[in-house]
Every structure is written in C-alpha cells, then in structure tokens.
Amino acid sequence: MVYFYIRAHCLAQQHEWKKEYEDIIALKKDIFNHFQIYNINEESSLIVYYDDKEKCDRILDNLDILPKDNITLFNVYVKRIWACCGICFSPFDIIPDRLPLECTEKICNVQYCVKCIDMICELNKNHKFTCMFCNKTDDRPQRNILLENIFLWKPYTMRYGAHSTERMETIFNGPNLSDAIHRIENRRTHIQTLQTTLKMRLSTVTDTNYYSDKSKYYLIAAEQLSGKLETFIRRLRTCERNIKSQSVTFRTLVNNYRKLLRDSICQKSSKQEAASFILVCEKLSASDYETIERMMSMNEQVIITESNFISMYNANKLKDISLKESIACVNDILEDINYRRNILQEKQQQVTELYLNSINHPFHTYYVQQYQIATTMITSLDEYETEFIRFRNIYNEIGNIMHEYKDELTKKTLDDTSNEYTSLPTSEQMSTFQCSRLILISELLRSETDRIEIETIFPRITKQIQQWKQNQVNDPKIYDLFATLEQDLLSLYDRNQSLLHLIPFRVGFIGNISVGKSSLVNYLRIQNSISTSTNRTLSPTAVGQSTVGSLQFDEQHLCSNTQTIVTIRYVDIEGCADFNTKVQAASYFEQIQKADCDLYIILYTGQQVSFERKLEKEIKERLNRPCWYVRSKVDKEFEEHFNEQITRRKLDYPDITIEDNEENELAEQVIEMIREKAIELCQTSSDKVFLINSLYSNMEENNIEKINSKTHPFDIYLLSQQLINAAQQSYALERIKRMAAMICARIIGTYFRRRYITSFISHEFLAGVSAIIVPWGDQIALAHTRFGIRTALGVQDRLSLYNHLLKKVDEFESLLLKYPLNMDSNDLKSDAFNYLKTTDSSTMINTINNKNEYSETIYLGREPKTDSSIATKLSSAMPTGVVTCGLVGKKIAAATLAISSLSYSVGVGFLGLGIVAAIPIGLWASKTSGKEIRNYLDNLCADLLIISEHFIVAIINQQELNRERS
C-alpha cells in the first residue's frame, strides 16, 4: 500500500489527511464521510480532480493519477448539481435559464442559475461577476459540462426511455418494427399533449403578454418536431405494409433458399447444406467417361458429404446465415447467391465450349441434362435474388428513416445569438444523449405551461413583476408583493372573476410497467365527461412500456350529486421498469415528484407490493399527498378462484344444480375475498383500494344477469365517481397555497435577494465599510442602519418613535395585522416584526369544518405550534453544524431546500412538503464575516419567507370560514 497526501474540498469546507489506500473505493468512502453533513454519496455526487492541461474536471476513478511520494498534496473536489441557485433559489434544470453555472474559484464552486448571472453581468458596466461567497471577481461563472451530463441529461434520458432509439440491429422484423413505430407514435403523442396543454392555458387568458415570443417559439419548434415524427411514422408504416405484402416472410424466404440449394435435385432429403448445389456442380465438372460413369452410379450421399466438396463450395457457410431480419443478413445472402450463380455459369460455359457444341459427342445427352438442371437452379437463384433485393430496399429505407429519426431527436433545437455565453446544450451534448431534442422541447413546453398557469392564477403579482422589470429607478417594496398577493387570493373567491375552475384536480397514475395505467386513464377520461369530442388524444397503450415521461390530459366531468362541473387532470406517468436499483427507483420518484399531483393512484397486479408500498411511503412523507391503490387485471385471479369454487361445488354435490343467482352470490363472495386480501396486502383502509378488470365493460352493474370475469365491472364505476367527488374537495385550495408560497419565495429570492447583489455590484463601497453589501440603489446612505434596510425593503415607512407619537401604523404592518398570523415567538429572528409574535398557543388553533382526510397539508396559523410549524420543520431538516449563524441560518437553509424541491413543478412549495435535506444551500446565511448589517438583512429576508406562508394560509382560511358562514 502507498500513502497519499489528500486535500478534499466540498463547497467552502476542506479536509486534509495522509493515509494509505489499496483502492479508490476506500478513498471515496473517506471523502464522503468527511462531508456527511451535505448528505452526499456516490450516487448523488462525483469526486473529481482538475486537469490543468485540459482545463476541466476529470472523474477520479483510480489511484494512478495520485502522487505516490507522500509529500505532494493532491486536491480533489466533491461535485454535484446542488439543489438550487445560490441567489434566487430557483432549481437547476436543462432549461437554458435554469442551467447551473459554477464559480470559477476551485475551492468555492458555488452554483448560480444562468438567469441571475445574465442579469448581474448586464447591470455591471464591465460585465464582471463577483461571487457573493468567495468574493472572487471574474468574467462570469462557467458551465460544468461533466456535471450537466451526469446529473441533468443522463437522468432525463432514463426518464424519457431514450435507449429505445438505439435498437437498430433488431428493428427490421415485424414485431420490432411495429414496436418502433409505436414508440415514435408515443413520442409524437407526448409532444402533442404538451402542445395542447400549453395552448389550452394560453386560451384561458386574454392578455397578449402571456403569449410571449418564447411560447410561440416553443410551439413552433414542437409543431415542427411533431410534423417530422408524423412523417417518420407514415414512411415506416409504408415499409411495414410492403413487408407484409411480400408473398413470403423474410425468414421463410431464407429457409426456402437454403432448401433450394439442399434438396432441389437430391433424390433423398439431406441434412447437408447446399447438397443439391454440390451435386450439380460436380456432375457438370465430370470431363471423361470414367468420371461420368462414376457420377451416374455412385450414391449421391457419398458425393455431397465429401469434405473436399463441402469446403470447395462453401456449403457450411449457409449455416452461418442468420434468420434475423437485417441488412447485413440480406447482403450476406445476396453475396452467396452471386457466388453460387457465378460458379454454375462458369461450369455451364466450360460444358458448352467442350461438349455441347458437338451434337455427336458421346456425352452430349448427359451434359444437356446437367446444363438444364444448372439453368433451372440459376433461374431460381435469380428469382430469390429479386425477392431478397426487395427486402434489402425496404430494410435500407427503414434504416435511413431511423437514422433520420435519431438525427432529428439529437440535433440542436434552438439558436441563441443574444450573447456569447450561450446556455443551450452543446452540439456534443445533443448528439451524445438520445432524444435530446425531444427532451429539451418537452421540458421547455412544460416550463412555459407552468409559468402561464401561475401567472394566470396570480395576475396582479405578474403585473407587479412586469412593472418592477420596466422601472429600474424605484426599488421593489415588500408591501407591494404582499398587497398584490392578497388581492389575487381574494379574487379567487370573487364569483364574478373566480379562477378556481382553472386549477384542475391532478391525479397521477403510477406503478410498474404493463399494469394497465394508460388503459385506465383512457377509460376514466370518458366516464361522465361533458365533452362530446370523439377525437381525443389517447394515452398510448402497449404490452410493455407504452408511456415515456408523463402525459397530461384535462377532462371536465359532471358530478351527478351536485350537478357541478369539475376539471380533472389525468397524469399518465411512465411505468418503472427496474425498481430493484436505487438509481432507477430514485429517478422514478423524481418523475412522480415532477408530476406534482394532488392524488396518486398506485396500480399493481401481483401478490407483492413492496415497491408500491415504498412509493406510498415516499409520497406521503416527502410530498404529503394521499395515495389510492388499484388492483388491476383482477379478472384473472377472479376466474381462477371462481372456477375452483364451482368445480369443488360440483364434485361435492354432483346432484345439485347451481342456479345463476347462486353463481352470482358465489362471485360476489370471491370478489370480497380478493378485496380483503388486497386491503391486507396494501395495509390501508378499504375506501382506498379498488379492483378493476382487464377489459372495462360498458354494461351497467345493475343490468348484469350473470356475473363472470368479463361482465363484472368490479370497482371501475366506483373509482370514477370517487375521483369526481374528490375533485370537489379542498385540493384546489391546497394547490393554491403551495403555488402562492412558491411564487413568494421566488420573488423574495429574485427581486429582493438578487437585487441587493446587483446593487452591490452597481455601487462602490463606502470607505471603512467595504465588507457591507449595500442594497437598494438610491438609498445607499440608509444602508448603515437597520432602519435604512427596513425602509429600503419596504418593511417600515417611518421611524417607530414617529409612528408612536403620531399614532400611525406602517403600511406593511397594517396589512399583516389584518389577519391572525399567529406567529410563534421563536419563528422570527429579526426585530422588525415583534408586533406579530405571540406566545399564547390558545390563539393559534383554528379549525375548518370541511377539512377532508386527504388534506394532510400543514395548516399554518390554525394548528398547534408544537412540532407542526413550518419553521420547526424547516429547521429540523437542516443538518447540524453546517452553518454558524444559529437557528435562523438553519431555517433559511432548510427553507431553501424546500424551494429546491420545486425542480420539476410549480406546486411543491413549503406547504405540504416533507423535506429531505439534500444540500444546505444555507450559504445565504452561512457566510458570516462578522458584518452585522449583512446578517440583519439575511434575517429580515428569512423572516419574510416564513411570514409569507402564514399570510397565505390566514387569507385562505378566513375566506373559507366566510364562505361557510354564508
């Protein structure tokens, strides 16, 4: 063993040690152990070293690169895509604006989103960027392609089933070609569904600002891709039709060709390849009377099994010809046909020159006969050649189409000439990752849809943001944010302009592949739907995996009980193909989290639900959403048990005839037995378990005269009705709370947090206070005092003494005091909001009568503050020892984690989120350089995050109470 001198870095921390290692595994283990507080491991992180020659990171995968002199220090770095931007809290993604950029200081490596960097560099005259954590000034943070590939692109290609485009070698047989066409159709359906969803969102708004250039550009790109996919499908269908129209299949044609060469002139069937070909060639080769006599009298089996002849005529080569449909196989056969035809023609030419020109030749008749046999075989070879050329042409066309298809899915999607620092995927990335274009367009469409959905629900906040963007002179005020938020929330309850109907009840369908998710989605969409359209875009179905990513379908249903119309968004999430690996299971849960549903329906078919139970546990703990179970394809189990009971009854009582009503009663008993088993297996209540058939019957349950596995509807109608009923409950309010909390957090991070950084860059430091980050542009003189910071933010209008003497109240304080926020005294750390603090827990409990059992979201402001406040939950999620500024630092860091969970959707805000800490981006508060003003500003912003949640919940709760009373 060799001693190595190691210094490991992770964000701002580093550890240095000397130790001997036998392999890289032990070294990696030690490195990860040193940084346990960051919750990193080999699956979520990389250990790299910096290659000075290539100027890039390299993965450390062996010990050979390390100096072995026990003196030279070797630096290694723990890298990953962290949870969110260090400035605005936005999650990182492959979307250009959300791409992570790393600080160029190797011992820092804090990551920022492209949007923040572009804004800061644009405002800075020299286009330089100063890292807010290491204070290094450079051109701008840089992309890390290695991290992008491993932690962004690779997971996406897994979720989108990109590997399916690589199976060129098996594409040409009937079933595989059909599957390939089906996969392309699935991708076309996927992109069309996202297009439709975005267009539907755009159709609900009248303000043309929503229909941005980006929306148009993305829709055009999606339309072009969809059109290309449609062309590929049509061309492949033509090829498939041409293959089916051939007189014989390819494999039959190959076997017939081998049979021609083996059995066409042999008197008896032979197992020797090319037996007839050998025989006719040798008979044509006979050049004297003795040889001809021997050929005519010798047993043909002796001739065709002669090893010299087998070798001479490459007979055994036919054994190597594969029956697998491929261009290579066709070319091998065509080459073989040409080889054997040339041999026959050469021998015919020799016979013609030597013997056939003379009618009086003693062997004339013999040679004429052999010549004719050879001519017949050559004619057959020509016919086979024509048939195989047809297949080759078809296969070449299929190959060309598939190559065009793969190129179309991997070519660059968008052109960015706005600045030299493009954040689009590189050409190498696009070509490396299959389906990269499809993935990027899909995520851009999804992101744009989410943006419009939020801006539609919160139009006043959206307008306020536009004003802030256009007016760079007047700084944003926190009062404006909270006031517009209040107006947007109140308008949701205004009957004249309510937007609640625009918020669909989202139901996600998850489980293993081939459990019937897509079929169930298609059926439930039709039940009680008010739409009369017969041209619905259906979720694709197939044996095996039929859905890639997730497909969303909005349907409006009529509730029979209340005669009200509800909108349900059915989210068909791809099946998990291999949930035995941690990586696959983690990727699948990310897909579930990305779908951001209000209810998840878990489908299963077998007797084991360990994976499904894990899914339910993760969904409840991390997303705080309810789950239902659906035992699909139950008719097969029903049939077995029912037939067993009938057979047993006939054996036990052969003299008693079983009436239809008795069979029906027995069938119900069998169903009840299966149901009890399913409830026990899923370990949940009976109202959360449903049984469904493989094929859904159109018969009404009460019209069934005789029950069997094909006619019994099981619980399909009940499931449909329960979903419609659930859509009328308070799920929309829960979603609004999450969306509002998320948009507030983003705005505080972006228009307040980020703005003070731009102010810092745009203004020079005052003498003697160079370490103080100065916010708020034109109010620099006030930044030296806490009062100055409060007034700059808009938290306070006037001095407290002035308010006290004149009995005035600041605007922001007046707004917050309109609602019972019930803030715990430990929640807030700054001195700006003492008027909100209370220690009387009895004032913090407030109940809502219509709370349903599935609404498990944390109700801030009306639940006991013991272990249930969001601040406590956020604090507890933070690993201890990460930050050095006390509870508030932990709270900010954990709050950031909560926002980071929004990576895949808009609705997973603080509310209802069980947080699993991935990385303490508590860097906001962790860089404590002893500067009181900076820390005070951090505390203020942290308090605003917490207050915003209480404010949102208090408004919605009050409106719900008002609605109940009215």
Write out pLDDT tens, residues 216-248: 889 999 999 999 999 999 999 999 999 999 888
* DSSP-derived pairing of the beta strands 2-10 and 74-79: parallel
pLDDT (0 to 100) of residue 802: 76
| Between 2 and 580, residue with greater pLDDT | 2
Q: Give the model confidence (pLDDT) of 781-793 as tens digits.
A: 444 567 777 887 8
Q: Give the model confidence (pLDDT) of 529-573 as tens digits.
A: 887 665 566 666 655 555 556 778 888 888 877 777 888 889 988
Q: Write the burial class of residue 784 (CB in 10 Å: 0-12 exposed, 13-18 middle, 19+ buried).
A: middle
The residue among 71, 27, 69 whose CA lies nearest residue 49 is 27
pLDDT (0 to 100) of residue 761: 45
Give the whole-angstrom CA distance, residue 423 versus residue 138.
18
pLDDT (0 to 100) of residue 301: 84
8 Å CB contact between 214 and 451: no
- Is pLDDT at 742 greater than 50 in this prediction? yes
The per-residue DSSP string of 829-888 comes to -SSTTGGGEE--GGGG----TT--TT--S--TTTS-STTTSHHHHHHHTSPTTS-SS-HH
Give the whole-angstrom CA distance, residue 681 versus residue 906.
34
* DSSP-derived pairing of the beta strands 823-824 and 505-511: unpaired
pLDDT (0 to 100) of residue 730: 64
Q: How far apart are the first and last CA of the chain?
A: 80
pLDDT band per the 50, 70, 90 thresholds, residue 668: confident
- Is pLDDT at 749 greater than 80 in this prediction? no
Phi/psi of residue 869, nearest 5 degrees: -70, 150
- Is pLDDT at 489 greater than 50 in this prediction? yes
> Model-level pTM?
0.78
Q: Give me the amino acid identity at 566.
A: V
Average predicted confidence (pLDDT) for the chain: 76
Q: Give the model confidence (pLDDT) of 807-820 as tens digits.
A: 888 889 999 999 98
8 Å CB contact between 831 and 825: no
Domain ranges in the chain are 2-82, 248-413, 458-498+731-838+908-965
| Between 954 and 271, residue with greater pLDDT | 954
Q: Give the model confidence (pLDDT) of 320-354 as tens digits.
A: 887 788 888 899 999 999 999 999 999 888 888 77
pLDDT band per the 50, 70, 90 thresholds, residue 169: low
| Between 484 and 426, residue with greater pLDDT | 484
Q: What's the token pair of residue 553?
A: 């379908």
pLDDT (0 to 100) of residue 256: 93
pLDDT (0 to 100) of residue 926: 39
The residue among 1, 400, 410, 96 whose CA lies nearest residue 236 is 400
Mean pLDDT of 916-936: 42
- Is pLDDT at 76 greater than 90 in this prediction? yes
- The Cα-based distances of 202 to 502, 551, 808 in angstroms read 12, 18, 45
Cβ neighbours of residue 113 closer than 8 Å, sequence gap 6 or more: 85, 87, 88, 90, 92, 97, 98, 99, 100, 101
Give the whole-angstrom CA distance, residue 583 versus residue 574.
16
pLDDT (0 to 100) of residue 410: 84
Q: Give the model confidence (pLDDT) of 388-419 as tens digits.
A: 999 999 999 998 998 899 888 887 656 554 44
| Between 503 and 580, residue with greater pLDDT | 503
Contacts 24+ apart (CB under 8 A), 710-716: 710/635, 712/635, 712/638, 712/667, 712/671, 714/634, 714/635, 714/671, 714/690, 715/690, 715/691, 716/523, 716/690, 716/692
Q: Give the model confidence (pLDDT) of 92-148 as tens digits.
A: 888 888 899 998 888 888 888 888 888 777 766 666 777 777 777 777 888 899 999
How does 602-641 read in b/e, with b if 16+ C-beta sit within 10 Å?
Answer: bbbbeeebebbbebbebbeebbbbbbbbbbbbbbebbeeb
Q: What's the token pair of residue 679?
A: 């409830």
Mean pLDDT of 285-297: 78
Mean pLDDT of 944-956: 90
pLDDT (0 to 100) of residue 781: 40
pLDDT band per the 50, 70, 90 thresholds, residue 955: very high
Cβ neighbours of residue 834 closer than 8 Å, sequence gap 6 or more: none
pLDDT band per the 50, 70, 90 thresholds, residue 960: confident
- Is pLDDT at 503 greater than 60 in this prediction? yes
pLDDT (0 to 100) of residue 487: 93
pLDDT band per the 50, 70, 90 thresholds, residue 485: very high
| Between 606 and 711, residue with greater pLDDT | 606
pLDDT (0 to 100) of residue 426: 77
Q: Give the model confidence (pLDDT) of 354-396 as tens digits.
A: 776 666 767 778 888 888 999 999 999 999 999 999 999 999 9
pLDDT (0 to 100) of residue 535: 59
Contacts 24+ apart (CB under 8 A), 17-21: 18/70, 21/63
Q: What's the token pair of residue 723?
A: 């979903």
The shares of helix, strand and coil residues in the chain, as percent rounded to the nearest 5, are 55, 10, 35
- Is pLDDT at 663 greater than 90 in this prediction? no
| Between 790 and 61, residue with greater pLDDT | 61
The per-residue DSSP string of 65-128 comes to TS--SSSS-EEEEEE---SB-TTT-PBP-SSGGG-EEE-S-TTT--EEEHHHHHHHHHHSTT--
The residue among 571, 565, 504 whose CA lies nearest residue 530 is 565
- Is pLDDT at 898 greater than 50 in this prediction? no
Q: What's the token pair of residue 694?
A: 């493989």
| Between 918 and 375, residue with greater pLDDT | 375
| Between 82 and 840, residue with greater pLDDT | 82
Average the pLDDT over each of 460-469, 488-497, 575-584 and give the range with the smallest value. 575-584
Give the whole-angstrom CA distance, residue 926 versus residue 890.
9
DSSP code of residue 749: I
pLDDT (0 to 100) of residue 816: 92
Q: Is 419 left (phi over 0), alpha (psi -120 to 50) or beta?
A: beta
Average the pLDDT over each of 5-14, 279-288, 636-645, 897-906 and give the range with the smallest value. 897-906
Mean pLDDT of 175-197: 86
pLDDT (0 to 100) of residue 795: 87
pLDDT (0 to 100) of residue 586: 67
* Percent of the chain clearing pLDDT 90 (strictly above): 18
- Is pLDDT at 629 greater than 90 in this prediction? yes
Q: Give the model confidence (pLDDT) of 842-852 as tens digits.
A: 333 333 334 44
- Is pLDDT at 857 greater than 80 in this prediction? no
pLDDT (0 to 100) of residue 415: 59
Please tell me the number of Cα atoms within 13 Å of 338 on its side-chain side: 8
pLDDT (0 to 100) of residue 429: 77
* Percent of the chain clearing pLDDT 70 (strictly above): 76
* DSSP-derived pairing of the beta strands 689-691 and 627-631: parallel
- Is pLDDT at 778 greater than 50 in this prediction? no
Mean pLDDT of 878-886: 28
8 Å CB contact between 344 and 280: yes
- Is pLDDT at 936 greater than 50 in this prediction? yes
- Is pLDDT at 47 greater than 70 in this prediction? yes
pLDDT (0 to 100) of residue 823: 79
| Between 445 and 428, residue with greater pLDDT | 445
